[in-house]
């Protein structure tokens, strides 16, 4: 389980885009580094991110080792009614984690 900080506005307008910002606590080990004995440190990253709103897709991202540690993602969402944003991350071990955030349309 990685720590996630999701930033969603408290209230949004129907049909008007709003920004979602995400911080994920993860070292995103690129597989390019070596330890002080010269041994390669194996790759270990979050490789996939999917955001849905009430089950319909907002966007999906394939992440590669060039994504910086403690990934920051920011994108815009548009909705017609209140509902739930679900954010799912998958890592190189196949572990899947989903975080949710409510969206309230005023």
Partner 1 sequence: MSRLPSWCPWPFLQGGPASLVLAGLLALTVAPASAADKRSGYQDASPETQAMQDDDAANPGFLWVQQGETLWSGRVGNANRSCADCHGAAPATMRGVAARYPMFDARLGRPITLPQRIQQCRVERQGAAPLASESDALLGLTAYVGLQSRGMPMQVAIDGPAQPSFEAGKALFTTRQGQFNLSCAQCHDGLAGQRLAGSVIPQGQPNGYPEYRLEWQGMGSLERRIRNCLVGVRAEPFAADAPELADLELYLGWRANGLRVETPAVRP
Partner 2 sequence: MLRRRFLVLAGSGLLVPLAPIRPVNATPAQVAALIAELVGDAQIRDERVKLDLPVMVENGNSVGMTVTVDAPVADLRSIDVFAEGNPLPHVVRVRFGPHAGAPRFATRIRLATSQTVIAVAKLADGSCWRDSVDLLVTLAACID
Nearest CB to partner 1, comparing residues 66 and 68? 68
CB 95 within 8 A of CB 46: no
DSSP 26: -
Quote the CA–CA distance of 39 and 32 in Å, as a whole number: 10
Candidates 1-9, 50-58, 78-86, 88-96 — which segment interacts with partner 1 by CB under 8 A? Answer: 1-9
| Residues of span 15-54 touching partner 2 by CB under 8 A | 17-19, 30, 32-38, 41, 52-53
**What would you report as the CA-atom Rg of the chain, rounded to the nearest whole angstrom?**
16
Nearest CB to partner 1, comparing residues 5 and 15? 5
Contacting residue, 11, 25, 41, 102, with partner 1 by CB under 8 A:
25
Interface residues with partner 1 (CB under 8 A) are 3, 5, 7, 21, 23-25, 27, 68-70, 72, 74
């Amino acid at each position: 389980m990685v720590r996630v900080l999701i930033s969603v506005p408290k209230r949004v307008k129907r049909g008007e885009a709003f920004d979602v910002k995400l911080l994920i606590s993860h070292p995103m080990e690129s597989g390019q580094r070596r330890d002080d004995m010269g041994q390669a440190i194996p790759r270990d990253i979050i490789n996939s991110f999917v955001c849905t709103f009430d089950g319909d897709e907002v966007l999906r991202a394939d992440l590669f080792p060039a994504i910086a540690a403690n990934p920051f993602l920011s994108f815009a969402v548009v909705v017609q009614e209140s509902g739930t944003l679900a954010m799912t991350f998958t890592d190189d071990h196949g572990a899947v984690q989903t975080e949710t955030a409510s969206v309230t349309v005023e």
